[in-house]
Structure formats: C-alpha cells, structure tokens
C-alpha cells in the first residue's frame, strides 16, 4: 500500500494521525482538503510532500479552478520542507500544456519517488557497509520511512536495504515529540518489516549514542542548504552533536528534491513554529525543525550521489 497515490482523478493517502491504532485512507477531492491534510500532518514527510504538491496541482487542473492561485495556496501550506514547493512548481511549469500533461507529470513524479528512494537506500547501505562491519546498529529520529514518501523510505530506506542485506543490527527510534512520529510511525513500519527496534524518549538518543549502542545515526531531511546545512525534524541536531562526540557517522538520506541550492545556509530557512497545543501547555514554543550545521554531517546520501564534507552546489 502506498502512502500517497493518484486514482480516478483524486488523491488517496494514508491518514497518518490515526496510526498505529487505525490504518485508514483519505480520499482527497479538493486542494482545500489537501491543505488541511498537510497542515495537520495527516500527510507528512518531505518526499511525500513533494508528491502531494505535484498531485495537488494536477487535482486543481482536473477540477478546473484557478490552477495558479490554488497552487500558490498549496505551496504555502508548510514553509520548511522545500519539496512541497518543488512538486508544485514542477507541475505548474507545464500548465500551458494542458490538464493531461499536468496529471501525467504528477504521476511521473510519484512513480519516480519510489525508484529514487530505492536507489538511495541501496547506495546508503553500500556506503555504510564499506565503512562499518555489520550488523549495523542504527539510531534514527522522527519518520523518514515509507510513510514519509510514496513507499520504501529515505533514512528507513537505508535501514531496509541493510536489513535485506542481512547486515542490520538493532534500530533505536526517538519517540519524536510532540507528535510522536517515531513512536507511532517508525516503530510501526519497523514492526511490519520484522526489524528489531527500541523506542527511547528524544532526550535519550544522545545517551544511546554515548553508550555505544548505535554505530551510525541515519535521518531524513526537510531541506538541505547549498552549504550542506541540514534542516530536519526538531531533535536532529542533538543527535548530530552526540554522533560527533562519539565519533560515529551522522548520515542524512534524502532525495535530490530536498537539496535547495537557492538557499545558502540553514540560517536562511524559515523554521515552522507550530501550535503550543501540540506540546500540551499554553506557553510552549514549538519549533518543528532544527538546523544541523554542515560540519556535523558525515555524509548526505541522495538518489544520485554521496556528498561529504563539501557544499552541494
């Protein structure tokens, strides 16, 4: 089952806020419904947002509204992950070729996501196994799995490839407050794959690393700046600090569509601040993402390349 798909002129997506208790799908007929689903994280994850952006513009075209205006609203649904704007812009660029061309391109982007993530996963596993003896124990954060993409996953795509190669040890999953994407989504995916895993509170991830329980940190990304700074779910930065201190690799797995050469550094990225209600107290400051400086990143693995220690441009 795909996390997000296109069928009969509508978008079908897994309702991620109800997992792991309930596996249901949303049928999305309008851009408004799509923006709502993205805003409340029923659809989430940078690669999936890229596909949602592409499919959303196709949906607007099929429904015959003001495609450009709808696209601009959709593009602004969440500010940090560059993929959403990337998906919107790609399909909007063929608007003058008509509705069929827009739908065809959106579906191509969707299919491409699967293939690219598989490539990324295999490349990541190969890169790691050239450097680490298996079984490789992994610390991850949030959900950069199939649920963050169309299927397969980015960071968890690497984990899956290690698992399929018989070279995966144990996976430590940060619960990922406030919305628990690690405890709810990543743990669910790993259980389905039969991967041994343990959930820890976010603040324990650095201790897992300091105690030598993890051989590598593997995370996804919402935006990678030209200088190699990585913007990802809040809580990524402390893992990078801990990995550097422990001398283990800190690896970012993301498709090329996450690389934003138009953004010079992490400091230039708008970090979404979400509602204090998610944290559960009125006076909370709820940054959704943090910035990991490039010097703490051992390697960025995409569907096309492995970059380490230098700018991406």
In the complex, the residues that contact a second copy under the rule CB under 8 A are: 172, 174-178, 183, 187, 197-208, 210, 234-235, 237-238, 241-242, 245, 279-281, 283-287, 290-291
CB nearer a second copy, residue 38 or residue 214:
214
Q: Contact, 169 vs 213, CB < 8 A?
A: no
Burial class (CB in 10 A: 0-12, 13-18, 19+), 246: middle
Q: Residue 52 in 3-state DSSP?
A: helix
- Structural tokens at position 137: 């124990």
CB of 117 to a second copy, least distance (A): 25
CB of 239 to a second copy, least distance (A): 8
CB of 19 to a second copy, least distance (A): 13
d(CA 76, CA 27): 21
CA angle 116, 180, 143 (to 5 degrees): 10
CB nearer a second copy, residue 97 or residue 198:
198
Q: Residue 150 in 3-state DSSP?
A: coil
CB of 249 to a second copy, least distance (A): 17
CB nearer a second copy, residue 50 or residue 206:
206
Q: Contact, 179 vs 41, CB < 8 A?
A: yes
CB nearer a second copy, residue 212 or residue 313:
212
d(CA 46, CA 40): 14
C-alpha 24: how far from chain center: 21
Could you tell me which residues come within 8 angstroms of residue 230 by beta carbon, excluding any fewer than 6 positions away? 219, 221, 223, 224, 236, 252, 266, 291, 292, 294, 297, 300
CB of 174 to a second copy, least distance (A): 7
For the chain, give the number of residues. Answer: 313
CB nearer a second copy, residue 44 or residue 75:
44
CB of 238 to a second copy, least distance (A): 4
Residues annotated catalytic, as ranges: 222
CA torsion sign, 265 to 255 to 11 to 16?
A: negative
CB nearer a second copy, residue 186 or residue 263:
186
């Amino acid at each position: 089952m795909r996390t997000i798909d296109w069928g009969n002129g509508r978008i079908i997506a897994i309702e991620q806020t109800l997992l792991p208790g309930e596996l249901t799908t949303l049928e999305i007929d309008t851009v408004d419904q799509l923006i709502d689903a993205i805003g409340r994280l029923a659809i989430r994850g940078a690669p999936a947002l890229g596909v949602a952006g592409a499919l959303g513009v196709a949906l607007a075209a099929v429904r015959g509204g003001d495609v450009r205006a709808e696209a601009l609203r959709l593009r602004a649904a969440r500010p940090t992950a560059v993929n959403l704007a990337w998906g919107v812009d790609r399909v909007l660029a063929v608007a003058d070729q008509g509705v069929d061309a827009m739908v065809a391109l959106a579906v191509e982007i969707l299919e491409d996501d699967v293939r690219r993530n598989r490539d990324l996963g295999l490349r990541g596993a190969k890169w790691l196994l050239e450097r680490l003896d298996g079984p490789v124990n992994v610390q991850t954060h949030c959900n950069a799995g199939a649920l963050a993409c169309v299927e397969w996953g980015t960071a968890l795509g690497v984990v899956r490839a290690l698992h399929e190669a018989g070279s995966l040890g144990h996976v430590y999953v940060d619960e990922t407050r406030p919305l628990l994407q690690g405890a709810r989504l990543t743990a669910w995916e790993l259980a389905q794959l039969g991967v041994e895993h343990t959930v820890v509170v976010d603040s324990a991830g650095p201790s897992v690393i300091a105690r030598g329980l993890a051989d590598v940190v593997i995370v996804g990304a919402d935006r990678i700046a030209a200088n190699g700074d990585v913007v990802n779910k809040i809580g990524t930065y402390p893992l990078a600090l801990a990995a550097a201190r422990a001398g283990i690799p800190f690896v970012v797995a993301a498709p090329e569509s996450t690389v934003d050469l138009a953004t010079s550094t992490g400091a230039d990225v708008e970090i979404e601040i979400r509602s204090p209600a998610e944290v559960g107290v009125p006076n909370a400051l709820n940054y959704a993402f943090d910035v990991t400086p490039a010097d703490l990143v051992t390697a960025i693995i995409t569907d096309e390349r492995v970059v380490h220690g230098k700018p991406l441009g």
